[in-house]
Amino acid sequence: MKRIKNYLLTVLLFLMITPVLGQYNNNLTVFHRILLYNDANELLIVKIKNTDIWVTPGLYQNKTQDIKKGLDSIVATYGVMQSEPILKGVFTLQRKTDSTASMSVRNLFVSHVQSYRPKVPDIIEEVKWVSPAEAAKMMSFPHISEMILQTSKYQQTLWGGAFTIVRSNGKTTSEMSVPFYSLGKQK
């Protein structure tokens, strides 16, 4: 009887404490990155104005747009009409700085250009179409490079994984904290 009481007490404590332990960060963000391929199998990459930062287009999820509307909106700012975006990766990105830590979910979508009328948003300095390998070399953040290479090499798989970005004493490093793993096959 004592074993049953101890077991029930353990289960009860576990159920009470699990929600508390699961609340890593009240400010969890969700970012949707889109890899836009043209007919030459090149990716659209952009340089943020007044910086040396190269990335692929994307947006943070907000309360006013669903994912589809957000993706359509961001690609339209570059003059792109796209095919139906396909989810190719769900990743976590943990950021640690000298004084804070945060967590973000990064969804990676792939889409193909149906039509293109070049436009450059005000916050963007330059737009280029380059091969996936060249895009990976040009990315300012290693985790984006790794996502591009993995999803372009294994296009029939939905990927998961985790990255840690550490900023300390003005220096930023990135590492894959959970290696890529399959979340399923796609057509």
In terms of Cβ atoms closer than 10 Å to its own Cβ (0-12, 13-18, 19+), residue 163 is buried
Residue ranges per domain, the chain?
27-185
Per-residue pLDDT tens digits for 71-91: 999 999 999 999 999 999 999
Q: What is the rounded average pLDDT for all residues in the chain?
A: 86
Per-residue pLDDT tens digits for 146-164: 999 999 999 999 999 999 9
Work out the pLDDT band at 1, boundaries 50, 70, 90.
Answer: low
> What residues contact 109, with CB distance under 8 A and at least 6 apart?
32, 33, 34, 35, 71, 85, 86, 87, 88
Q: What is the CATH number of domain 27-185?
A: 3.90.79.10
What's the pLDDT score for residue 26? Answer: 59
